[in-house]
Amino acid sequence: QSALTQPPSASGSPGQSVTISCTGTSRDVGGFNTVSWYQQHPGKAPKLMVYEVAKRPSGVPGRFSGSKSGNTASLTVSGLQPEDEADYYCSSYVGSNNFVFGTGTKVTVL
């Protein structure tokens, strides 16, 4: 299974929105509504931000939202905050109880 494709970087000023894409195939992203997104600050463990494409766990701010169209999923961070600066990874179920992660995107708050 190949890693899902994400842009290496994205940026925005405080208060602006940034959208990160996650592109796979019909065998992963396009085949299941199972995309999740994880935020990782330097030296820390990843944290679940969105699951099953567009659901938010309790405690995750509403400015984080997910969507999917065809083989591409997206994470949008609206109203960027300084603490949103981190690496973001998408993940998708690929069948047979296996999962694959995206290549990761570094979000910079300008």
Partner 1 sequence: QVQLQESGPGLVKPSETLSLTCTVSGGSISSSDYFWGWIRQPPGKGLEWIGSIYYTVNTYYNPSLLSRVTISMDTSKNQFSLKLTSVTAADTAVYYCTRGRGVYLDYWGQGTLVPVSS
Binding residues for partner 1 (CB under 8 A) = 1, 3, 32, 34, 36, 38, 44-48, 51-52, 57, 89, 91, 93, 96-104
Instruction: Tell me whether residue 17 or residue 41 sits nearer to partner 1 (CB atom).
Output: 41
Provide, rounded to whole angstroms, the least separation between the CB of residue 36 and partner 1.
Answer: 4
Provide, rounded to whole angstroms, the least separation between the CB of residue 99 and partner 1.
Answer: 5
Phi/psi of residue 83, each to 5°? -75, -5
Taking each continuous run of H as one helix and of E as one strand, the counts in the chain are 0, 9
Q: Take residue 66 and report the two structure tokens written for it.
A: 């997910």
Give every strand in the sheet of 64-69, ordered side by side.
18-23, 72-77, 64-69
Instruction: Tell me whether residue 60 or residue 63 sits nearer to partner 1 (CB atom).
Output: 60
62 CB-contact burial (10 Å; exposed 0-12 / middle 13-18 / buried 19+): exposed
Instruction: Tell me whether residue 64 or residue 89 sits nearer to partner 1 (CB atom).
Output: 89
Provide, rounded to whole angstroms, the least separation between the CB of residue 25 and partner 1.
Answer: 16
